[in-house]
């Protein structure tokens, strides 16, 4: 089976490499020629555990190919996946220009029957819009009878665990409207789900909605817990205990009940904005999700507010160590990262920032240039700091040498945005500890 995946980012590259690993002949296409040339040399443009091995192995086995030239390979394919970005536009809508550009290239060059699959997260109705546009173009090109199908196959992988998620998915959601499309997608995904075929077929509109609804549910749980955590602080309860008590209820479950300094990343913020706008366009107000977004925007300021309060507003000229810059551990993705909100507030208030991240330092420079000091390790970051603030819970931050930190920090304040430390333990080391939702 031969497929192309257009857009070689977090989703496209992981999907392409994993399909190739299962024996599919995959061509990954991107307009970024530096990225494509790098991939041919085994240079992986993103930090994603386990990805390099399968990319290199499958490239060498000639099951995985890279090109910038979609038209030249298009008519050898049975399926073309669209996996380009759908960032927010200035009004918060999903910007579909990248998706529609790819669809336009397909429409202009396709000469053989093809299944076009939208893997990008797109507003409900986008796949139909693509089909309509392609058919119109085919009629103009004198090919009105060429068989083109569309399907929707949203992606649920988590950055940091993307390869594993793709190879062993909880489920695969596929929206189809023809038996041929269903058969092709079944053939493609069967090897991933040999023992338990968990492909959920549905209509295309529902499939597109399933992706937004899933992200919206997860973001809702996070904002809900942040709201509960903030109330815990006011009334003297401990959110860690509350979380354990709640999560043990099988109707609630344990995952996504961790309060913190807000959700970020390339998906939740833009997808929540997009579904709110989609509701507005359809004349329906998404009241819960508006609150989810508002709580999150507020939560992203919580670390800065705790820092300012501790020093009673006297923060100008101080220095802060920031451990963790990526929006979550095991990725270098900085898109909408809570660390950025924190650092911007600190810099605006005249506070110097010494930051360290195990994977995202290069990416962080794109956002922060030379406005902060990029430390060599956690101790270099903490040198002379008035506070240590942790927005991202990388494993290597969990058991630092507190004695060493005590000797190199100026004030002994720890503000923990992910509740990875224990206040009593830190007190024994002489630190004043402030987590989220704790006394
Ligand atoms: N990142 C995630 O964890 C994740 C998870 C699930 C779904 N998604 C969705 O998947 C989509 C892709 O996300 P991503 O994070 O992989 O994006 P990304 O920004 O990492 O990658 C997008 C790639 O598309 C390329 N591109 C843009 N226009 C192109 C064109 N005309 N032709 C060829 N390539 C083009 C870009 O150069 C870039 O390499 C988005 O809709 C996103 O919401 C992302």
- Do 197 and 224 share a domain, yes or no? no
Distance 138 CA to ligand 1 centre (A): 26
Asked if residue 38 and residue 184 are part of one domain, the reply reads: yes
Domain end among 271, 298, 325 = 298
Residues 114 and 68 in one domain: yes
* Average pLDDT score over residue span 58-87: 98
| Sign of the dihedral through C-alpha 379, 381, 384, 386 | negative
User: Could you tell me the pTM of the whole model?
Assistant: 0.95
Scan for tokens 């099951």, then name that residue.
63
Please check whether residue 319 lies inside any domain of the structure.
Answer: yes
Closest residue by Cα to atom 20, ligand 1, is 9
Judge whether residue 195 has pLDDT over 90: no
Give yes or no for residue 439 having a pLDDT over 90.
no
Give how far Cα 90 sits from Cα of 76, 269, 425, Å. 38, 13, 46
User: Residues 126, 96: contact at Cβ < 8 Å?
Assistant: yes
Contact 384, 410 (CB under 8 A): yes
Residue 117 lies in a domain: yes
DSSP state of 411: S
- 258 and 378 share one domain: no
Determine the Cα–Cα distance for residues 331 and 185; give it in Å rounded to an integer.
Answer: 29
Per-residue pLDDT reduced to its tens digit, 162-188:
999 999 999 999 999 999 999 999 999
155 lines ligand 1 (CB under 6 A): yes
308 is written with which tokens? 């300012």
Query: What is the average per-residue pLDDT within 395-406?
Result: 98
Ligand 1 probe mutation, 10, 106, 273, most atoms within 8 A of CB: 10
The predicted pLDDT at position 193 comes to 83
pLDDT of 6 above 90: yes
Q: Examine the domain organization and report whether 13 and 159 are in the same domain.
A: yes
Q: In the chain, what's the furthest Cα-to-Cα distance?
A: 78
Residue 207 lies in a domain: no
State the pLDDT at residue 192. 87
Domain count for the chain, please give it.
3
Is 359 within 8 Å of 326 (Cβ atoms)? yes
Average pLDDT, integer, range 210-219: 98
In this predicted model, what pLDDT tens digit does every residue of 288-346 receive, in sequence order? Answer: 999 999 999 999 999 999 999 999 999 999 999 999 999 999 999 999 999 999 999 99
124 pLDDT band, cuts 50/70/90, is very high
Asked if residue 4 has its Cβ within 6 Å of ligand 1, the reply is no
308 and 387 assigned to the same domain: yes
The tokens describing 175, both together, are 């929206």
Domain membership of residue 18 (yes or no) is yes
- Say yes or no to pLDDT of 197 above 90: no
**3-state SS class at 399:** coil
Same-domain status, 46 and 178: yes
**Mean pLDDT computed over 335-363:** 98
What is the CATH number for 286? 3.40.50.720
Residue 148 confidence (pLDDT) = 98
Q: What is the pLDDT averaged over residues 414-419?
A: 98
State both tokens at 349.
């208030």
Q: Which of left, alpha, beta for 62 (phi over 0: left; psi -120 to 50: alpha)?
A: left
pLDDT at 424 (0 to 100): 95
The yes-or-no answer on residue 28 being catalytic is no
CA 11 to chain centre: 9
**Is residue 10 in a domain?**
yes
Q: Hey, whose CA ends up nearest to atom 37 of ligand 1?
A: 32
DSSP state of 263: -
Both 312 and 341 in one domain: the answer is yes
pLDDT at 363 over 90: yes
Strands of the sheet containing 352-356, edge to edge, are 373-374, 352-356, 319-323, 387-390, 413-416, 432-434
What is the mean predicted confidence (pLDDT) over 346-351? 98
When pLDDT is cut at 50, 70 and 90, the band that residue 35 belongs to is very high
Place of tokens 């649920």: 156
307 and 386 housed in the same domain: yes
Tell me which residue range forms the domain holding 248: 212-298
Those residues with Cβ within 8 angstroms of residue 157's Cβ, 6 or more apart along the chain or in another chain = 10, 11, 14, 165, 166, 169
Domain boundary, last residue among 174, 202, 230: 202
Q: Residues 220-234: pLDDT tens digits?
A: 999 999 999 999 999
pLDDT in tens, 147-158: 999 999 999 999
pLDDT of residue 412: 98
Ligand 1 atom closest to Cα of 119? 10
Q: Is the CB of 267 under 6 A from ligand 1?
A: yes
Q: Specify if 52 maps to a domain.
A: yes
30 lines ligand 1 (CB under 6 A): yes
The pLDDT of residue 416: 98
**Could you give the 3-state DSSP secondary structure of residue 387?**
strand
Residue 334 CB–ligand 1 contact under 6 Å? no
Q: 330 and 233, same structural domain? A: no
Q: What gap in Å lies between CA 398 and CA 387, rounded to an integer? A: 17
Closest atom of ligand 1 to CA, residue 154: 7
Pair (28, 158) in one structural domain: yes
pLDDT > 90 in the chain, percent: 98
Q: Is the CB of 31 under 6 A from ligand 1?
A: yes
Q: How confident is the model at residue 127 (pLDDT cuts 50, 70, 90)?
A: very high
Which domain-ending residue is among 160, 183, 202? 202
Which is nearest to 338 in space by CA: 259, 400, 432, 410? 259
Shared domain check, 224 and 194: no
Extract the tokens encoding 140. 């103009």
Helix, strand, or coil (residue 403): helix
What does the alpha-carbon distance between residue 363 and residue 315 come to, in Å, rounded to a whole number?
28
Q: How many CA atoms lie within 13 A of 178 on its CB side?
A: 12
Any domain includes 439: no
* 84-120 confidence digits (pLDDT tens): 999 999 999 999 999 999 999 999 999 999 999 999 9
pLDDT at 244 over 90: yes
Q: Would you state the structure tokens that stand for residue 76, as one six-digit string? A: 């050898």
The answer, yes or no, to whether any atom of ligand 1 lies below 6 A from the CB of 268, is no
Structure tokens at 202: 């549905």
Point out the ligand 1 atom lying closest to the alpha carbon of residue 158.
3
Rounded mean pLDDT of 59-70? 98
């Amino acid at each position: 089976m031969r497929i192309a995946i257009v857009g070689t980012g977090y989703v496209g590259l992981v999907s392409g490499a994993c399909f190739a690993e299962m024996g599919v002949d995959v061509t990954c296409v991107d307009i970024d020629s530096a990225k494509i040339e790098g991939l041919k040399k085994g240079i992986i443009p993103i930090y994603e555990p386990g990805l390099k091995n399968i990319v290199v192995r499958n490239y060498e086995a000639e099951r995985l190919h890279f090109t910038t030239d979609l038209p030249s390979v298009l008519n050898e394919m049975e399926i073309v996946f669209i996996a380009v970005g759908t960032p927010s536009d200035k009004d918060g809508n999903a910007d579909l220009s990248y998706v529609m550009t790819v669809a336009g290239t397909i429409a202009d060059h396709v000469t053989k029957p093809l299944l076009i699959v939208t893997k990008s997260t797109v507003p409900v109705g986008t796949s139909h819009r693509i089909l309509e546009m392609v058919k119109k173009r085919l009629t103009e090109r004198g090919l009105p009878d060429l068989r083109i199908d569309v399907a929707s196959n949203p992606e649920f992988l988590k950055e940091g665990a993307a390869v594993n998620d793709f190879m062993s998915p909880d489920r695969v959601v596929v929206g189809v409207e023809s038996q041929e499309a269903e058969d092709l997608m079944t053939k493609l995904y069967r090897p991933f789900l040999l023992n338990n075929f968990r492909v959920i077929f549905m209509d295309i509109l529902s499939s597109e909605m399933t992706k937004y609804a899933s992200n919206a549910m997860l973001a809702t749980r996070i904002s809900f817990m942040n709201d509960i955590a903030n109330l815990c602080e006011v009334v003297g309860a401990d959110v860690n205990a509350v979380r354990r008590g709640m999560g043990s209820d099988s109707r609630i479950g344990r995952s996504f009940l961790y309060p913190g300094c807000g959700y970020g990343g390339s998906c939740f913020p833009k997808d929540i904005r997009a579904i709110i706008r989609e509701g507005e366009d359809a004349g329906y107000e998404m009241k819960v999700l508006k609150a989810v977004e508002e709580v999150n925007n507020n939560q992203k300021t919580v670390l800065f507010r705790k820092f300012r309060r501790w020093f009673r507003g006297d923060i100008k000229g101080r220095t802060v160590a920031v451990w963790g810059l990526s929006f979550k551990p095991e990725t270098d993705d900085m898109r909408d990262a809570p660390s950025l909100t924190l650092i911007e507030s600190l810099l605006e208030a005249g506070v110097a920032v010494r930051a360290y991240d195990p994977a995202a330092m290069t990416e962080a420079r794109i956002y922060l240039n030379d406005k902060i000091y990029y430390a060599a390790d956690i101790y270099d970051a903490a040198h002379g700091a008035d506070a240590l603030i942790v927005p991202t819970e990388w494993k290597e931050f969990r058991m630092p040498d507190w004695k060493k930190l005590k000797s190199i920090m100026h004030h002994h304040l720890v503000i923990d945005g992910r509740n990875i430390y224990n206040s009593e333990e830190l007190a024994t080391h002489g630190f004043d500890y402030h987590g989220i939702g704790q006394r």
